[in-house]
Amino acid sequence: MRIGVLTSGGDAPGMNAAIRSVVRDGIYNGLEVFGVRHGYAGLIAGEIEPLTARSVGGIIQMGGTMLGSARSEEFKTREGRKKGLDNLANQGIEALVVVGGNGSQ
């Protein structure tokens, strides 16, 4: 199974720790984990890349989010959400973990 993780909304403390946890726990449980760069905007643009345990090494103490975050007006539309879903499907990603605060729902 493949899962994705993205960060959205404003940066918040602990986002990198959450990303690291998703990636390492996913790998431990036999999943392939992919990161979506720049939040929902990146999801629509197809900015999706594999993440490994090494990808998330040393990020806990860093501020912000190693994946980047961006709000997306396009994602609020039906067509924007369809693009995002299509990009996940094209990568074979079956689930998406969204980490964030305001703007991530």
**Per-residue confidence (pLDDT) for residue 96, from 0 to 100:** 97
Q: Which of 69, 63, 31, 33 is nearest to 48 (CA)?
A: 33
**Per-residue confidence (pLDDT) for residue 77, from 0 to 100:** 96
Measured between alpha carbons, how far is 70 from 61 in angstroms, rounded to an integer? 21
**Per-residue confidence (pLDDT) for residue 9, from 0 to 100:** 81
- Cα 31 versus chain centre, distance: 15
**Per-residue confidence (pLDDT) for residue 71, from 0 to 100:** 80
**Per-residue confidence (pLDDT) for residue 103, from 0 to 100:** 66
**Per-residue confidence (pLDDT) for residue 24, from 0 to 100:** 98
Q: Which amino acid is at 20?
A: R
Q: How far apart are the first and last CA of the chain?
A: 24
Q: Which of 35, 39, 36, 37 is nearest to 76 (CA)?
A: 39
Consecutive 10-residue runs of the chain (105 residues): their mean pLDDT? 93 90 98 97 97 95 90 93 98 96 68
Place of tokens 């899962």: 3
Does the global pTM surpass 0.75? yes
